[in-house]
Chain A
């Protein structure tokens, strides 16, 4: 990661407008293309796709530097951190060659299309369908709570491709263009008033065979590999929380009452939690480097970082008192979603109890 700190210091823009606004989305894409041009957008990817073939350990260093420099949130995160690992594991070379370069340059921003009105925590209840036609599939149905869909270009998700199939069987992992004929995107304002997610209505949307990932009918297995990335490792790196805990410490020094030991302890616990997540992630990366796999234990990480993020931001707001601070408020509102997305923490606790502790289903 040679030269990274200097490059970030010279190039990180002053607070961009929110990525869930038209102008902010554009500004974040520009930032990400600049990051790409300098070689820092996708450090773990192979050089042929604009990466540096960096190890996961180097990636952790990259992330710590990135967030310490107060650099913008990654507008391409759904693609970069969720779809790309899936393409590397299950995609074809043609798919990687076609999809990864524009993803890395943020020319194509991806939304995820998992949830449906009747399939939230219970993802296997998916009803949207993919029907076989000549040369591809026709998608029908409705997706919702699709993060970033309001301003994204393409989306990936699961569709029921075998009529009458139940639960996890008969699903196919497909990618589609959000501007294709038959697609209607209806943005939904989030708690902060901005359209951070959207509903997607699909009416006979044609998707060619080349946009299926893995085998038709095997979508659940492919998707589960993505969700362990989403929960565990790549979506929320320790660097974010280390940087936020550092800012909380500064806030405590500035505003904290030294006699208020209850508040002091919350600040210390935020710092300890960030360190715990850091060293835990390093151990996970060690295990992956020596051939281990990321499985159900990613659920423990998801609960841990999402609760940490929230308690850290709550401590900041309590320190600020009635004083409004845009940045901590935005961070707090963002953190509130953590225990809900990527599988609610209650679902994760079920997974932990059943798959890690072996309690009966």
Chain B
């Protein structure tokens, strides 16, 4: 129940693409409502097959497994890619009328879904209800248009799992940033990463992320509501610990808009509370036990 060699290769090529794409600048532009660079990346993701993953082969998709999606969303989270990724790539394929599926697969159509209608202003297809007015979000790259609406349970679960995977990737990136900063930032005549107070906090982050990930993979494998909720709780907790720790390790520079950490931090904070709050998911686990 871990990614295969082929899935790891796919993750590596996605990582390569995203690392070269300057996703922080893209995220900032997206938050201002300037979409061209983000949409250009969307076309590149489509070329790599990311938008086709959850579409059945009968409709020009790849008919990929939940594990393939999890692997892809961990990388998308790792690079804090903006846009309705969960909505269009993981959820819409389960809700869209069949005639839309080939164009979702090819990336020509971008979809969004209820009840947050993320990026409804650029979506070609809106599912589950009608979007409301633009609303603020702690993550300014998330342009929400909340309104009533409903999702089917399989669609909701697909969104939760993809969101959990994004959180896992975001958390890992935050740990990498923190470790790298702790090695280079010198105070009291030594790298701060030499101080035990810093070491122990970062060790806790690694432990949380390392033990959340197997739940994510187990959830991709079983597909049950119970396991998906458990994964969302654990990935959310681990990513949030990574975010708080990252902010503390970076100190004042981390608390600036200009520094890229702010993009990862605020995305984690937003994702912890969407696709079901931690309390809702814990209640769902208990109900399933």
Contacts and interface: CB of A to CB of B under 8 A. Distances in A.
Interface of A: 249, 261, 264-265, 267-269, 271-273, 275-280, 282-283, 286, 297, 300, 303-304, 346, 348-350, 352-354, 356-361
Given A272-B234, A304-B211, A264 B282 contact: yes
B126 interface: no
B205 to A, nearest CB: 9
A346 B204 CA distance: 11
B289 A282 contact: no
A272 B183 CA distance: 33
Nearest to B230: A272
B182 interface: yes
Interface stretch (B43-51, B85-93, B213-221): B213-221
Given A359-B193, A360-B191, A280 B211 contact: yes
B286 A268 contact: yes
A304 B175 CA distance: 18
Given A353-B203, A358-B179, A283 B2 contact: yes
B53 interface: no
A349 B203 contact: yes
B234 A276 contact: yes
Given A269-B282, A280-B210, A304-B207, 19 more contacts: A261-B279, A264-B283, A264-B286, A272-B230, A272-B234, A276-B212, A276-B215, A280-B211, A283-B217, A286-B2, A297-B210, A300-B211, A303-B203, A348-B203, A350-B196, A352-B206, A353-B202, A357-B199, A359-B193
Contacts of B273: none
Contacts of B198: 359
Contacts of B218: 275, 279
Interface in B197-247: 198-200, 202-204, 206-207, 210-215, 217-218, 227, 230, 233-234
B194 interface: yes
Nearest to A348: B203
Contact of B214 (A282, A297, A354, A360): A282
8 contacts: A261-B283, A265-B279, A271-B230, A276-B234, A280-B211, A303-B203, A304-B207, A359-B191
Contacts of B283: 261, 264
Contact of A360 (B193, B202, B210): B193
B282 to A, nearest CB: 4
Contacts of A261: 279, 283
B279 A300 contact: no
B1 interface: yes
A204 B140 CA distance: 73
B96 interface: no
B285 interface: yes
From B200, B202, B217, B286, name the one whose CB has the most chain A CB atoms within 10 angstroms.
B286
Contact of B203 (A264, A269, A357): A357
Contacts of B285: 268, 271-272
A279 B279 contact: no
Contact of B199 (A271, A276, A303, A359): A359
Interface residues of B, number: 37
B220 to A, nearest CB: 11
Contact of B194 (A282, A300, A360): A360
Given A264-B283, A275-B230, A360-B183, A303 B207 contact: yes
Which one of B2, B210, B279 has the greatest number of beta carbons of chain A within 10 Å?
A: B210
B286 A267 contact: yes
B183 A279 contact: no
Given A280-B210, A286-B2, A268 B203 contact: no
Contacts of A354: 199
A358 B210 contact: no
Contact of B289 (A271, A280, A283, A348): A271
Contacts of B227: 275
Given A272-B285, A360-B191, A283 B179 contact: no
Contacts of A360: 183, 190-191, 193-194
A268 B285 CA distance: 7
Contacts of A272: 215, 230, 233-234, 285
Identify the 5 closest CB pairs spanning chains A and B, nearest first.
A279-B214, A353-B199, A352-B203, A349-B203, A359-B193
Contacts of A349: 199-200, 203-204
A297 B206 CA distance: 10
Interface in B5-35: none
Contacts of B207: 300, 303-304, 352
B211 A346 contact: no
Nearest to A264: B286
A279 B220 CA distance: 12
B288 to A, nearest CB: 10
Contacts of A276: 211-212, 214-215, 234
Contact of A350 (B179, B199, B210, B214): B199
